[in-house]
């Protein structure tokens, strides 16, 4: 699917408006700015509750750890993407479920409040065709996704409410096993999906919500592929052939994903790109530093900003004292290029995990995204193929999910 900001919508699909070799379309920078660029996993909503934090102001990792704001989106040509309603895994108890449910609804509210506060800069998106229409008006595209479905508790039907709020993608699990599925990074409990997890898959299909297998175990991936009547997606994953980590997909599963018409969206999370030795002392020190930045609801904007500056300084000192291996841009691109070589540009995209741990040396925030386009142009990919990678593939999967919905 060829997409640009000028894409016309015909019969529910973006029309092909450009198909010439990328290098014939002018400079790489202007080419990148023409493309409809979507990232399928933005953890930026976690910043919205910070006292005094303003998405319209330029921030920086060396100030408050953030990687996405409106000025940097404009600079990096990022038109938007899927903004994650992420909820840390809590206790699998009535009290834990209630706390996670409330946190998820609050996060969804914060996303909507951000859009409502800046209607000339952001707009909620619900169907694939919304993306080109919104970007064509010079606004940023706000699809919503759920990362970790534990907030649904024991009532899978709560997903219907999130759908009405705009959620169009959902992953069943995160770092830890939950009531729905095994995690790629935790001990097995269900050997894949739980009975409730199978209910979740069925209801997501009925609603037209794309199922996201990132963070899920291999068994969960296989079972979702088998059960789902619509293509599933991996919104922010890597290639196990490049780096053997359980969060990454092996070649056989990447091929299965492509054969089903779907896409792997490559992330830039350091620990999934390079081996990082375990260091419990460092982990404890980092956790103690970050703990001082929490509890923002009771802080003034000035105090919250000061706490973040102190934490940034303390983390930098910790990195000097206990350094860990850091992935660079070339390492990230090895995953992108491996996936492209394996299944082609119709089945690969970008989901960097910005504001959720993503970012590599040489690509620290979304302002650096044109580097990806530049590298792919040098590799010989056409503008039409780049349009697929930068958003067309993900929108195609969303469209397939909505066509397969119950009654649809």
Residue 93: partners with Cβ closer than 8 Å, 6 or more residues away: none
Neighbours of 305 (CB within 10 A): 18
d(CA 102, CA 87): 10
Place of tokens 């935790």: 186
What is the model's pLDDT at position 408?
55
What is the model's pLDDT at position 23?
46
Residue 183: partners with Cβ closer than 8 Å, 6 or more residues away: 173, 174, 175, 176, 177, 215, 216, 217
Residue 171: partners with Cβ closer than 8 Å, 6 or more residues away: 145, 146, 147, 148, 149, 211, 212, 213, 214, 215, 216, 235
- Domain residue extents for the chain: 9-276+325-403
Q: Which two tokens stand for residue 87?
A: 């909820």
Q: Residues, the chain, total?
A: 408
Q: Which two tokens stand for residue 19?
A: 């198909």
Place of tokens 């009771």: 298
Burial pattern 76-92, b for ≥16 Cβ within 10 A else e, equals bbbbbbbbbbbbebbee
Query: Per CATH, the architecture of 9-276+325-403 is what?
Result: Alpha-Beta Barrel (3.20)
Q: Which two tokens stand for residue 385?
A: 């193929």
80: alpha, beta or left? (left if phi > 0; alpha if psi -120 to 50): left
- By CB neighbour count within 10 A (0-12 exposed, 13-18 middle, 19+ buried), where does 353 fall? buried
Task: Report CA Rg, the chain.
Answer: 20
If DSSP codes are grouped into helix, strand and coil, which group holds residue 30?
A: helix
13-14 and 38-42: which strand pairing?
Answer: unpaired
If DSSP codes are grouped into helix, strand and coil, which group holds residue 131?
A: helix
Q: Which two tokens stand for residue 207?
A: 């609603």
Q: Please give the sequence-ordered ranges of beta strands (E in DSSP) within 116-194, or none if there are none.
A: 122-124, 140-147, 167-171
Q: Which two tokens stand for residue 293?
A: 């930045």
Place of tokens 């989106």: 73
Instruction: Please report, for residues 79, 80, 174, 208, 294, the alpha-carbon distance to residue 132 in angstroms, rounded to integers and kept in the order given.
Output: 9, 11, 30, 20, 37
Residue 361: partners with Cβ closer than 8 Å, 6 or more residues away: 326, 327, 328, 329
d(CA 247, CA 221): 11
What does the pLDDT profile of the chain (408 residues) look like in tens digits? Answer: 444 443 333 233 333 333 344 444 458 889 999 999 999 999 999 999 899 999 999 999 888 999 999 999 999 999 999 999 999 999 999 999 999 999 999 999 999 999 999 999 999 999 999 999 999 999 999 999 999 999 999 999 999 999 999 999 999 999 999 999 999 999 999 999 999 999 999 999 999 999 999 999 999 999 999 999 999 999 999 999 999 999 999 999 999 999 999 999 999 999 999 999 999 999 999 999 998 888 666 788 998 889 888 999 999 999 999 999 999 999 999 999 999 999 999 999 999 999 999 999 999 999 999 999 999 999 999 999 999 999 999 999 999 999 999 865
13-14 and 9-10: which strand pairing?
Answer: antiparallel
Residue 78: partners with Cβ closer than 8 Å, 6 or more residues away: 37, 38, 39, 68, 72, 140, 366, 369
Judge whether 272 and 264 are in contact, CB under 8 Å.
no
- By CB neighbour count within 10 A (0-12 exposed, 13-18 middle, 19+ buried), where does 286 fall? middle
Q: Please give the sequence-ordered ranges of beta strands (E in DSSP) within 229-354, or none if there are none.
A: 234-237, 264-266, 348-350
* Residues forming a β-bridge with 144: 83, 167
């Amino acid at each position: 699917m060829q997409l640009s900001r000028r894409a016309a919508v015909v019969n529910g699909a973006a029309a092909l408006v450009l198909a010439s070799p990328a290098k014939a379309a002018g400079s790489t920078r202007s080419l990148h700015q023409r493309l409809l660029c979507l990232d399928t996993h933005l953890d930026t909503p976690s910043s919205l509750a910070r006292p005094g934090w303003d998405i319209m102001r330029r921030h920086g990792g060396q100030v408050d750890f953030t990687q996405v704001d409106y000025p940097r989106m404009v600079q990096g040509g990022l038109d938007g993407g899927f903004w994650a309603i992420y909820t840390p895994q809590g206790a699998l108890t009535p009290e834990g479920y209630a706390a996670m449910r409330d946190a998820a609804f609050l996060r969804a509210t914060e996303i909507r409040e951000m859009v409502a506060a800046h209607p000339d800069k952001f707009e909620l998106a619900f169907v694939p065709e919304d993306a080109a229409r919104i970007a064509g008006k010079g606004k940023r595209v706000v699809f919503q996704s759920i990362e970790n479905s534990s907030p649904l508790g024991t009532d899978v039907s709560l997903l219907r409410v999130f759908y009405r709020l705009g959620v169009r993608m959902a992953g069943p699990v995160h770092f830890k096993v939950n009531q729905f599925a095994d995690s790629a990074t935790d001990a097995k409990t269900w050997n894949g999906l739980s009975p409730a997890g199978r209910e979740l898959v069925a209801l997501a299909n009925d609603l037209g919500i794309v199922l996201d297998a990132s963070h899920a175990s291999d068994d969960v991936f296989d079972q979702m592929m088998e059960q789902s009547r619509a293509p599933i997606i991996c919104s922010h994953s890597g290639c196990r052939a490049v780096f053997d980590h359980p969060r990454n997909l092996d070649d056989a599963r990447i091929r299965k994903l492509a054969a089903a018409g779907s896409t792997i969206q490559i992330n830039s999370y350091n620990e999934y790109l390079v081996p990082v030795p375990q260091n419990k002392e460092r982990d404890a020190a980092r956790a103690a530093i970050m703990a001082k930045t929490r509890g923002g609801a009771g802080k003034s904007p000035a105090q919250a900003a000061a706490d973040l500056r102190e934490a940034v300084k303390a983390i930098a000192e910790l990195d000097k004292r206990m350094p860990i291996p850091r992935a660079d841009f070339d390492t990230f691109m090895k995953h992108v290029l491996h996936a492209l070589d394996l299944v082609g540009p119709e089945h690969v995209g970008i989901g960097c995990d910005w504001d959720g741990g993503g970012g590599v040396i040489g690509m620290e925030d979304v302002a650096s995204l044109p580097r990806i386009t530049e590298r792919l142009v040098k590799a010989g990919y056409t503008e039409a193929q780049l349009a697929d990678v930068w958003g067309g593939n993900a929108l195609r999967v969303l469209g397939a999910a909505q066509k397969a919905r119950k009654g649809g």
